[in-house]
């Protein structure tokens, strides 16, 4: 059975590219790969792009790009998805050039964005190696991919079936917590073959104003979390969840708002799952300490 390796890239539709350019470089520590009047690419490592942004009033996720290590695995996976009755299209040559990949396919998520499946990512020239203006260390990417995304589910049962049985994500664990009287968060966390605790998670929120709740970036040193928190505070960026720690993926992190209104999480210390040693659990709290909520999450 062919399996997704990692979350290779994320595509966002954003209304203010200028705001995102300064936010991505000065706050998050990414590097601009390419910028024109209607689009921008962001780098985190040797890949030519990890995020791509397109001018749009959507201000939401438009694509999750899932990487395969070989063309054979990609083709086997796509064939299996088609066998489940899902409509899959192959990306055109111009789309492949924009994604900086050799081959890719696309299908629709039940919640209104696309999943793309690819292999053969583009690598920057040595003289163009990744440089961050603000990071002390570096982003944790490589085989583990970009980080993770948490899109809300409009129909929880349909979405969970799609992620588990069509895309074949592996369940990492669950968190079910009453975050306010009568308000239960019921979240499911999924990992891919290379083992980042979760590359995607979801919870049913039928009337959420945006599909994407947040994306997560992981850094290699704890200092970079604290330094980013200071940059966010100095810039007056709204903090959604203050510094804290998750019981399931062991991530020390905080959450704050992007220029598009959804959140980002910046963290350190996340779990990498070893499949033969992993036990799926159900937790009763999103955070075991900290992460004080500021009515944005």
Q: Express each pLDDT in 224-269 by its tens digit.
A: 999 999 999 999 999 999 999 999 999 999 999 999 999 999 999 9
- For residue 278, pLDDT over 90 is answered with yes
Asked if residue 45 lies in contact with residue 61, where contact means CB atoms within 8 angstroms, the answer is no
Q: Which tens digit of pLDDT belongs to each residue from 154-181?
A: 999 999 999 999 999 999 999 999 877 8
Parse the chain into domains and list their residue ranges.
Answer: 6-128, 142-290
CA dihedral (137, 138, 144, 149) positive or negative: positive
- For residue 297, pLDDT over 90 is answered with no
Give the model's confidence band at 296: pLDDT under 50 very low, under 70 low, under 90 confident, else very high. Answer: low
The neighbour count for residue 179, using CB atoms within 10 Å, is: 11
CA distance 76 to 56: 34
The neighbour count for residue 180, using CB atoms within 10 Å, is: 8
Token output for 246: 């998750």
Domain 6-128 CATH assignment equals 3.10.180.10: yes
Predicted local distance difference test score (pLDDT) of residue 33? 97
- Give the lowest-confidence range in 85-99, 213-227, 252-266, 283-297: 283-297
Q: What percent of the chain has pLDDT over 90?
A: 95
Q: What percent of the chain has pLDDT over 70?
A: 99
Q: Which tens digit of pLDDT belongs to each residue from 53-82?
A: 999 999 999 999 999 999 999 999 999 999
Beta-strand ranges (E) seen in 27-125 are 31-35, 39-43, 51-55, 60-67, 89-90, 101-108, 114-121
Give me the mean pLDDT over the 206-214 stretch: 95
Token output for 198: 């979760």
Asked if residue 283 lies in contact with residue 175, where contact means CB atoms within 8 angstroms, the answer is yes
Left, alpha or beta for 264 (phi > 0: left; psi -120 to 50: alpha)? beta
How much is the pTM? 0.97
The whole-chain average pLDDT of the chain stands at 96
Give me the mean pLDDT over the 138-160 stretch: 97
- For residue 183, pLDDT over 80 is answered with no
- For residue 104, pLDDT over 80 is answered with yes
Give me the mean pLDDT over the 37-50 stretch: 98
Give me the mean pLDDT over the 9-23 stretch: 98
The neighbour count for residue 95, using CB atoms within 10 Å, is: 14
- Location of structure tokens 């990744």: 130
- For residue 283, pLDDT over 90 is answered with yes
Domain topology for 142-290: 2,3-Dihydroxybiphenyl 1,2-Dioxygenase; domain 1 (3.10.180)
CA distance 200 to 211: 13
- For residue 294, pLDDT over 90 is answered with no
């Amino acid at each position: 059975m062919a399996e997704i390796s990692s979350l290779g890239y994320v595509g966002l539709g954003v209304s203010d590219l200028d705001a995102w350019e300064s936010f991505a470089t000065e706050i998050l520590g990414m590097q601009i790969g390419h910028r024109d009047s209607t689009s921008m690419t962001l780098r985190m490592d040797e890949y030519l792009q990890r995020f791509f942004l397109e001018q749009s009033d959507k201000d939401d996720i438009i694509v999750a790009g899932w990487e395969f290590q070989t063309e054979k695995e990609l083709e086997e996976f796509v064939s299996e998805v088609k066998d489940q009755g899902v409509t899959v299209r192959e990306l055109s040559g111009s789309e492949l050039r924009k994604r900086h990949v050799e081959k890719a396919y696309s299908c629709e998520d039940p919640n209104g964005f696309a999943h793309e499946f690819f292999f053969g990512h583009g690598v920057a020239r040595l003289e163009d190696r990744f440089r961050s203006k603000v990071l002390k260390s570096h982003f944790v990417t490589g085989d583990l991919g970009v980080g993770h995304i948490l899109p809300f589910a409009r129909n929880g049962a349909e979405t969970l079936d799609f992620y588990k049985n069509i895309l074949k994500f592996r369940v990492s664990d669950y968190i079910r917590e009453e975050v306010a009287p009568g308000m239960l968060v019921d979240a499911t966390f999924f990992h891919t073959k290379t083992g980042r605790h979760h590359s995607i998670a979801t919870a049913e929120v039928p009337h959420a104003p945006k599909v994407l709740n947040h994306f997560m970036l992981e850094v290699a040193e704890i200092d970079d979390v604290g330094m980013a928190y200071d940059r966010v505070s100095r810039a007056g960026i709204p903090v959604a969840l203050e510094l804290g720690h998750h019981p399931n993926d062991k991530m020390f992190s905080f959450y704050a708002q992007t220029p598009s209104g959804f959140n980002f999480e910046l963290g350190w210390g996340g779990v990498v799952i070893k499949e033969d040693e992993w036990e799926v659990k159900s937790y009763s709290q999103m955070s075991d300490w900290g992460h004080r909520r500021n009515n944005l999450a």
